[in-house]
Structure 1
C-alpha cells in the first residue's frame, strides 16, 4: 500500500467549491450588470426622455449605495444564504413592479422610488462570491499557496465582472430591440429568482454564526473606517465613474455618427482586452507589489483617456479603448486584492460589498452626469468625464502610496 503524497492530498479552491460553482456565480451577477442600463432603456422608451432615464439610473445607484453595504453586513452576521434568499425574492418582485410602473400613468416620483428600491434590494452576489473564495483560500489552503491563489482567483473574479459588465448592456440591447423595452428588466427579475437562489443554496455559502462566534470573530465596525480601506473604496468608485462615463460618452460619440446602437459592441473592445489583462495579473512577478500596480495601471487608463480627447474617427476611438483596457482590468484586480488584505476579521462580505457598491454607484452617477453633459454641452465635453475619472483613480493611488508606506512586504499579495 503506497503513501499518498501531501501534494496530491492538499486541498484546492476548486475541490472546495466544485466545478459548477463558477457558472452559477457568473450568471447570478448578470442581473446586477443589466440593472443600470436596463432601467435607462426602460424609462427612455416608456416616458420618452433621456434625462429622466439617466436620473432613474442614478436612483438605482443611490439605492445600492445606501443598502448594499448593509446587505453585506447582514451576510457577515446572519450568513449569506438567508440574506441572498430574502433579497433575491424581494428584488425579483420589485424589478417586475418597476417595469409595470414605467408604462403606467403613475407620477414620476413613484418611478423614482421604485428605481431606488430596486437598487436597494439588489443581491450582492459578486462581492459575496469574492468573500467565499477569499475565505476558502485563507482557511483551507496551505500558507505558502495562499498569495498566488488569492491573486489568481481575484483576477478571475475581476475578469468575470468585466465580461458581465460588457455583455450585460449587449443583452439589454438585444432583449429591448427584439422583444420590448420591459424585457431586460423582466429578464433580470427571472435570472435573479433562479440563479441568485441557486447561488444562495450552494454549499459554499457561509453559515450564520452564533452570538458567541460573532463576538469572538467579528471585528468592530469602526475598523471599516480605516483610511487604508476607505481610499480603496475611493479607488473603486473612480473605476465605476470611468465605466459609466466611458459607455455614455461612447454612446454619444456613436450617435453623432448615426450608429448609437453599435456603442455596446465598440465598448467590448475595451472590455475584452480588460478581461484578458485582468487574468494576466496572476502572472506578474512578486516584486511588482500592489502598491506599485495601482498608480501604474491608473496611469495607463489616464493615457487612454488622453488619447480619447483627440479621437475624431472610429480607428482612433478603438485605439484609445484598447489602451484603457490594458489598465482598467488589472486595476480592478489590484483594488479587490487590497480590499481582501484590508478586510477586518469577520467582515469580508461587508468590505467586498462596499467595493461592489462603489463600482455600481460610480457607474450610475457618471452615466447620469455624462448623459446630461452630452445633451447640454456636446460629445466633446462628455469625453472629458472619463479623463476626470482617470485622474481620481491616479490621485487615490498616490494617496494609497503614502498610506501604505515603503515597508510593505514584497510579495504578490503584499501592499
Structure 2
C-alpha cells in the first residue's frame, strides 16, 4: 500500500531504545484527548434533545441538528487546513472558547421567546466552531510516529493507533448520547448542552495546551513542500470521506428513529440509554482490529464489517420491542468499529504530504454532517409516518457505507 504518513527526513529515532507512542505523546495525552471528544459527541444529540423538549417539535429539533452539521461541513475542513498551516494550539483555543459560549447561549435560547430562526442560526455557528479534537488527535499522533519511529515499523504502529482512535470515537459517539440521556432524565433537557459547554471549556483547552500541540505546523518547517490542495480530491481520499459520511448518516438516522421508537412507547428520553447497546461490541471490535493479520487488508475489513452492518440493520423495521431492537444494535455494533478503523487508516495512509489534519478533519466533518442531515430527514419521516418507516433510514445509510467500501477497494488497487 502506498503511504505518505511520514517522511524519512523528519524521523527522530533514539538509538538503543525502542520508541513507545504512549511515552512519546506523554502519559496524560490519551485521557485528555478521550474526554475532549465527549463535547463533540454530545452536541448534536444534546441540541436535538433540548430543542425537542423546549419547542415540542421533532422536525425543528432535526432541522437544528442539521444546521449544526451544515456549519461543520462548511467550516470544519477549513479549521483543519488552518491547523496544518498555523498549528493546532491557536486554532483549538479560539474554536473551543467560542463554541462553549455558543452552547451556553443555545441552552438559554431554546426556552426563551426567541424565534426558531435564532435557534437555527446559533446551531450553525456551533457547528462552525466545533473543536475537531478527534481528527486533530489522529494527525498529531501520525506526526509523532513519523518523527519517533523507524520507517519500517510505522505502518503497524499507525494501524494500531487508528484502531485505538476509532475505539475512542466509538466510546464518545455511543456513550455521548448515553450521558445526554442520563443528564436529560435526571436533571433537565438543558443539562447536556451546558455539560458539553463545560467539558469543552476545560478539556478542549487542556488538549490545545498539551505539549504535543506545540510542534510547529508542517507547512512552516524549513524546506517542507506541502502537497497542492488538488491532491485532496483524489478517489483514494474521497472514498473514505464518503464512507465516513455514510457512518454519520447511520448514527443520526439510527438515533432519531430510535428516539421516535421510544417516544411511541412513552420514554423518548431513554433513547440514548438503549443506543448505548451498540457500543458494547463496537468499541471492543475497533480495538481488536490491531490484532488482525496483515493479509486481511484494510479494504477487505471495510467490506466485511460493512456487510455485517447492513445485515444488522435489515431487521430494524420489523422489531416491536425494546429488547429486540437492543439485540439488533448489539449486532450492528460489531460492524461499526472495524469499519471506522479501516476508513481512517486508509485516509491516513493516502494523506497528501502536509495535509494530514485537513484529511482527518474532512472525515470527522463528514461524520457530523451525516449525523446532522440524517437526524433532520429522519425526524421528518418519523413525524409523518412513524418509527417503523423511519427505521429504514439506517439501512440506506449502511448500504452507502458498503458502496463507499467498494469504491475504496477499486481506488486502492489503482
Do they superpose with TM above 0.5?
yes
2:156 maps to 148
Q: Which of structures 1 and 2 has the larger relative contact order (alpha carbons within 8 angstroms, sep 6+)?
A: 2
Structure 1 consecutive aligned stretches of length 4 or more whose deviation exceeds 4 Å? 209-212
Aligned-residue RMSD, C-alpha: 1.8
Q: Is 2:178 the counterpart of 1:170?
A: yes
TM-score, normalization: structure 1?
A: 0.92
Shift of 1:200: 0.5
TM-score, normalization: structure 2?
A: 0.93
Q: Is 2:25 the counterpart of 1:37?
A: no
1:95 maps to 103
Name the SS for the 1:11 alignment partner: coil
Whether the aligned pair in 2 keeps the contact of 1:274 and 1:325 (CA below 8 Å) is yes
Selected match of 2:278 from 267, 270, 280? 270
Selected match of 2:59 from 10, 32, 51? 51
1:121 maps to 129
2:341 maps to 333
Q: Which aligned pairs between 1:235-250 and structure 2 lie closer than 5 A?
A: 235-250=243-258
Comparing 295-304 and 97-106, the one that deviates more = 97-106
Name the SS for the 1:109 alignment partner: helix
Shift of 1:8: 6.1
Note closer, same or farther for the CA distance 1:282–1:7 as it changes in structure 2 (3 Å cut): farther
1:386 maps to 394
Comparing 51-60 and 314-323, the one that deviates more = 314-323
Note closer, same or farther for the CA distance 1:130–1:65 as it changes in structure 2 (3 Å cut): same
Shift of 1:215: 7.0
Q: Structure 1: state its 5+ residue gaps.
A: 1-5, 407-415
1: CA distance, partners of 2:42 / 2:257: 18
Superposed CA offset, 1:230-260 (max 9, x none): 1110011001111111111122222333333
Q: Structure 2: state its 5+ residue gaps.
A: 1-13
Shift of 1:52: 1.1
Superposed CA offset, 1:31-54 (max 9, x none): 111101111122222222221111
2: CA distance, partners of 1:257 / 1:212: 57
Selected match of 1:84 from 92, 109, 122? 92
Shift of 1:101: 2.0
Note closer, same or farther for the CA distance 1:90–1:109 as it changes in structure 2 (3 Å cut): same
Whether the aligned pair in 2 keeps the contact of 1:132 and 1:205 (CA below 8 Å) is yes
Name the SS for the 2:19 alignment partner: coil
Whether the aligned pair in 1 keeps the contact of 2:138 and 2:360 (CA below 8 Å) is yes
2: CA distance, partners of 1:76 / 1:304: 38
Selected match of 1:399 from 394, 403, 407? 407
1: CA distance, partners of 2:374 / 2:218: 41
Name the SS for the 2:318 alignment partner: coil
Shift of 1:391: 0.9
Comparing 30-39 and 171-180, the one that deviates more = 171-180
Name the SS for the 1:9 alignment partner: coil
1: CA distance, partners of 2:272 / 2:262: 10
